[in-house]
Structure 1
Amino acid sequence: MSVEPDEIQSANRQIARAAGTVMAAFILSNLIGLIRGILILRGFGTGAEMEAFNTANRLAETLFNLVAGGALASAFVPTFTGFLAKKETAHAWHLASAIANLVLIILTIVSALSAVFAPQIVQYLLAPGFVDEPAKFNLTVQLLRVILPSVVIFGLSGLMMGILNANQVFLYPALAPSMYSIGIIFGVLVLSPGMGIFGLAWGTVLGAALHLLVQVPSLIRLKATYKPILGLEDPAVREVGKLMLPRLVGAGIVQLNFWVNTNLASRQPEGSLTAITTAFTLMMMPQALIAQAIAIASLPTFSAQVALGRLDEMRSSLASTLRAVLLLSMPSSIGLILLREPIIRLLYQGGRFGDRSTELVAWALLWYAAGLVGHCVVEIISRAFYALHDTKTPVIVGVFAMSLNIGFSLLFTTMFQHAGLMPHGGLALANSLATGIEMAILLVIMRKRLNGLQGLFILDAVWKGAAACAAMTIILVIWLGWSASKSVWLVTLVGLLLGVGIYGVILIILKTKEVGIVWKAITRRLLHRAA
């Protein structure tokens, strides 16, 4: 089926507009998240209390991601969007009601069992290294039980995000992470002075509630209908379950890697666990702005294209999306690697976060940042598979890649120790290498699935981005050498401005298509406002 150029451009503009909305909200979320991280780390540092909290929070994050995070969204959104595209609204809300009830029941049961068996989970699965430190072990168990209610709340909130995104409503779901951070900030500033680390835990629960509540008005405006049903006999509900099962396996393997990292880091010098957690969070900030924003915006469009049989249009949209992601993620990776230490000092150093903490986090960020491009591309290409109602392929590839990650983690930590290097860096390197392999395999398979990916079009962006990154690297290395004794504010801010400026100028010189599109969009909006 041939597709008119206007239809392709319309779909691409739809993705771009939605991605712009999500990205703007994500910028706000990241800024608030930065404030949250600064307050937490300056208040608690990288010591025993923070190690206990990060370990306890790992289980809650795992349950959320397994049942109601990416696994549910990847299975629910394509099916729900298919009904909307075919104007079968009543069936769409019937499906949403059934999935919401199932999520509520499943997560409540799992959370209750996790609370009962919390000591065993910490001792045998999460942090066996804490057993020799009874105070830290008991604190981890107590914090885990406080945080667990957030899993149920996040489950319903995650489903709500999928419903709103499928209806092309992106702003308030994208603002939800900001509300989560605000809840945690309240916990740190208001609750922690009297409750210590438990104030942070209760702030996490409050943040989850705010994450849900900020989306409710948008859902009401959609005139959503709810029914107290399970719908197990509904083919659509079974389709979501069928699509979700392999994604659950894949998400489980990903989470297993985090558990392995937590397990190994609990046996390493104190601060290692908090260091990899903080560094990974820093790496995920640009990943959220770049890949998650675009992925969230593109999945409903990809799904609608597939539902209407427009695979040629989807191929073009996917190629354009990958170009944009590559052009944004490549300089972000280089910038994080080169500016990692001044960024960490500027953001976190102070209070109980000293030079040693900066050294630990910067070492992990070096190796995590090397995998940023892989993380971003995997986020996009996986959404393309989900839109095709294929959750098996990304899962199979993910299981293979993340199995490698576990092996790499054991190998690299040992190698780093023998080389006299901090071993937690090996955990970050393992993640980056495994993700890069996953990216390469998924791209090859998708290219075959769609009979091409407009490879030359994508490679054009790669070489132009690489040339701009090379120029940016030279300038930043010179700047860092010259400014070594200057204020950390000056080093960081000027470094960021130089990096963005040089990269942008080179892309303009190379006549990169996306620069022209952005410029036209800006001028069009300015002229519209002036009129």
Structure 2
Amino acid sequence: MFKSSFIVMVINMLSRILGLVREMIIGSVFGASGMTDAYVSATKIPNFFTTLFGEGSLGTVFIPIYNRGLEEKGKEKTDEFVFSILNLIIAFTSTMSVIMILFSKQILKITTGFADPERFEAANGLLKIVAFYFLFIALSGVVSSLLNNYKKFAVAASMGIVFNLVIIVGTLLLKNKMGIYGLGVAYLLSGVFQLLMMLPQFFQIMKTYKFVFNLKDPYVKEMFVLMVPTLIGIFGYQINEIVDNRFATMLPAGTASALNYASRLYLLPIGVFAISLSVVIFPTLSRAVVKNKRKKVRKVVQEGLAMLAFLIVPSSVILFGYAREIVTLVYKRGHFSNKAVTLTSETLQFYALGLLFFSTIHLLTRSHYVYKDRKLPVISSFIGIFTNILLDFLLYKQYRHVGLTFATSFAAMINFLILFVSLQRRYVRINVLKYIAILVISLGGSLLSFTISKLVKVSFLGSLGIVVNLLIFLIIYLLIWIAVFMIFADDKFKKDVARRFIKR
């Protein structure tokens, strides 16, 4: 399982690096301006639905039912369930995309706080262009879940690479002819290519395609029943983003763009580590629960939590401590000004405070889903959204972008605590003391690594000096964990780790 996680992490790492290149190019060409605010606000709408129906969200409902169907009715009958779901998604998403085009102005009046006509009209034009992205990415979400279930992780994980490459190429080719609208066209085309790249392996599994709508299929009915609380839970998280953007667009021009640029950086470790791990773990957890293998479930969840602590805590310290240096290295060129660097780096610091919570929520939510518990994640999500909205309202005028990002991180912490306590009490008896010990060692090791790396000055390299600091941080952090491992691990555990390493 963790070998697959590593492969997905490597692919996601490439994807996230390309994502940074994408944002670097957008920042260089358009800066943090009113036009980029319009682009961010327009793409929030299809992104809202994309996270609801794509990115593996439906897979958390789809995969357990699909696996049970294979055991109970065989592949031929279960394939008809797949076709019905895909055809229903085509019908629904096409309808919603048309609605987005027809009522784009009304939607933007609700989701943005633009006071000037220029930004509003740009956002309106962009939303009409990107609306049908929803159709392609929703289909991609279900298809990628199916591929993951057959352990074809590489192609599904490469969706992000295609997304970023298409936008990068499209931006460079269309920037002079179409300006910010060329960015919208590239965004739409990225959805088309993401779906197309997965179709060959999809047809290897399915062999054919049927245009059936079997609403009487018990698995289809069950999926609709289970989808409702799942979508409501994800809906809550997406409402947070819409609300944050609404408040951000009421602040000076460039604020919404700064939040978006900072989010690209903090989403790097989330995408590479947290989502990769959750994607690989979920099918394993699902099968273990179906076969009532409680020990395996506990082992997988605990190893997942430990791995996230080991990887995410140092990422959080790096993003907080080196925020300005990282933002300068990644974005400061072309039209990206010193003011934009300050806005983005301050935003990044407060996102970094919630990084562990953002990351672990993915695993905790899926750990509830495998037990068919979708109510608690919904309740937890709505408590988080209420907390976020309340803090946004209280903080945005005085603390501006910092207040908005602090609210988001604090809400994530509340969500994390509810899910963690629920999982511990109701389903999986996690060794809490061991988990806390891993967190403490990770945090202590990270702070020590940061303190030492900060002492090294390589000013002659300019903005590239941060690369040397990060390498020193990484080396010290790994040495600390190796020392801890050699001191505290028992001989049996050491042999087991050595055996796994040799096999790889």
- 2:474 matched residue in structure 1: 500
Alpha-carbon offset, residue 220 of structure 1: 2.1
- 2:188 matched residue in structure 1: 205
Q: Deviations over 1:175-221 (max 9, x none)?
A: 01100111101211112221111111110111111111111121122
Quick one: distance in 2 between partners of 1:86 and 1:168? Answer: 21
Alpha-carbon offset, residue 224 of structure 1: 4.1
- The answer to whether the Cα contact below 8 Å between 1:286 and 1:332 also exists between their aligned partners in 2 is yes
Quick one: distance in 1 between partners of 2:207 and 2:360? Answer: 34
- 1:214 matched residue in structure 2: 197
Alpha-carbon offset, residue 301 of structure 1: 0.3
Match of 1:90 among 76, 94, 118: 76
Q: TM-score, normalised by structure 1?
A: 0.90
Q: Alignment RMSD, CA only? A: 1.8
Give runs of aligned pairs for residues 95-174 of structure 1, distance below 5 A: 95-123=81-109, 125-128=110-113, 130=114, 132-174=115-157
Q: Deviations over 1:59-114 (max 9, x none)?
A: 01011122334541221122113334567222331221111011111111111111
The aligned amino acid for 1:445 is: S
Number of residue pairs matched by the alignment: 499
- 2:436 matched residue in structure 1: 459
Q: TM-score, normalised by structure 2?
A: 0.95
- 1:54 matched residue in structure 2: 40
Give runs of aligned pairs for residues 184-199 of structure 1, distance below 5 A: 184-199=167-182
Quick one: distance in 2 between partners of 1:348 and 1:487? Answer: 17
Give the secondary structure class of the aligned counterpart of 1:79. Answer: helix
Give the secondary structure class of the aligned counterpart of 2:405. Answer: helix
Moved more, 315-324 or 446-455: 446-455
Give the secondary structure class of the aligned counterpart of 2:58. Answer: helix
- Is there any run of 5+ residues in structure 1 with no aligned partner, and where? 1-14, 417-422, 526-531
The aligned amino acid for 2:485 is: K
Quick one: distance in 1 between partners of 2:372 and 2:77? Answer: 18
Change (3 A) 1:216 1:177: same
Quick one: distance in 2 between partners of 1:233 and 1:159? Answer: 20
- The answer to whether the Cα contact below 8 Å between 2:8 and 2:154 also exists between their aligned partners in 1 is yes
Alpha-carbon offset, residue 439 of structure 1: 0.8
- The answer to whether the Cα contact below 8 Å between 1:94 and 1:226 also exists between their aligned partners in 2 is no
Alpha-carbon offset, residue 345 of structure 1: 0.9
Q: Deviations over 1:260-297 (max 9, x none)?
A: 11111111011100001111121011111110000000
Quick one: distance in 2 between partners of 1:57 and 1:347? Answer: 22
Match of 1:41 among 7, 22, 27: 27
Q: Deviations over 1:429-458 (max 9, x none)?
A: 111111011111111110112251122332
Give the secondary structure class of the aligned counterpart of 2:158. Answer: helix
Alpha-carbon offset, residue 399 of structure 1: 0.9
Quick one: distance in 1 between partners of 2:343 and 2:496? Answer: 41
The aligned amino acid for 2:219 is: A
Quick one: distance in 2 between partners of 1:116 and 1:372? Answer: 38
Give runs of aligned pairs for residues 63-462 of structure 1, distance below 5 A: 63-84=49-70, 88-123=74-109, 125-128=110-113, 130=114, 132-416=115-399, 423-450=400-427, 452-462=429-439
Quick one: distance in 2 between partners of 1:75 and 1:158? Answer: 12
Alpha-carbon offset, residue 502 of structure 1: 1.1
Alpha-carbon offset, residue 488 of structure 1: 3.5
- The answer to whether the Cα contact below 8 Å between 1:183 and 1:207 also exists between their aligned partners in 2 is yes
Quick one: distance in 1 between partners of 2:318 and 2:462? Answer: 16
Quick one: distance in 1 between partners of 2:108 and 2:10? Answer: 38
- 1:475 matched residue in structure 2: 452
Alpha-carbon offset, residue 523 of structure 1: 4.4
Quick one: distance in 2 between partners of 1:488 and 1:283? Answer: 23
- The answer to whether the Cα contact below 8 Å between 1:75 and 1:391 also exists between their aligned partners in 2 is no
The aligned amino acid for 2:442 is: G
Alpha-carbon offset, residue 325 of structure 1: 0.8
- The answer to whether the Cα contact below 8 Å between 1:303 and 1:387 also exists between their aligned partners in 2 is yes
Aligned structure 1 segments of 4 or more residues deviating by more than 6 angstroms:
512-519
Give the secondary structure class of the aligned counterpart of 1:226. Answer: coil
- 1:23 matched residue in structure 2: 9
Quick one: distance in 2 between partners of 1:373 and 1:515? Answer: 27
Quick one: distance in 1 between partners of 2:446 and 2:40? Answer: 34
Quick one: distance in 1 between partners of 2:56 and 2:416? Answer: 17
- The answer to whether the Cα contact below 8 Å between 1:68 and 1:103 also exists between their aligned partners in 2 is no
Quick one: distance in 2 between partners of 1:520 and 1:51? Answer: 52
Alpha-carbon offset, residue 519 of structure 1: 6.5
- The answer to whether the Cα contact below 8 Å between 2:56 and 2:142 also exists between their aligned partners in 1 is no
Alpha-carbon offset, residue 153 of structure 1: 0.7
Change (3 A) 1:518 1:135: farther
- 1:4 matched residue in structure 2: none
- The answer to whether the Cα contact below 8 Å between 1:316 and 1:454 also exists between their aligned partners in 2 is no
Quick one: distance in 1 between partners of 2:30 and 2:72? Answer: 52
Quick one: distance in 1 between partners of 2:392 and 2:363? Answer: 25
Change (3 A) 1:33 1:263: same
Alpha-carbon offset, residue 522 of structure 1: 4.8
The aligned amino acid for 1:499 is: F
- The answer to whether the Cα contact below 8 Å between 2:19 and 2:264 also exists between their aligned partners in 1 is no
Moved more, 513-522 or 306-315: 513-522
Match of 1:510 among 484, 487, 498: 484
Give the secondary structure class of the aligned counterpart of 2:307. Answer: helix
Give the secondary structure class of the aligned counterpart of 2:322. Answer: helix
Quick one: distance in 1 between partners of 2:56 and 2:157? Answer: 15
Quick one: distance in 2 between partners of 1:396 and 1:255? Answer: 15
Q: Deviations over 1:370-401 (max 9, x none)?
A: 11100111111111111112222111111111
- The answer to whether the Cα contact below 8 Å between 1:57 and 1:147 also exists between their aligned partners in 2 is yes
Moved more, 212-221 or 155-164: 212-221
- The answer to whether the Cα contact below 8 Å between 1:250 and 1:398 also exists between their aligned partners in 2 is yes
- Is there any run of 5+ residues in structure 2 with no aligned partner, and where? none
Quick one: distance in 1 between partners of 2:146 and 2:422? Answer: 29
Change (3 A) 1:435 1:312: same
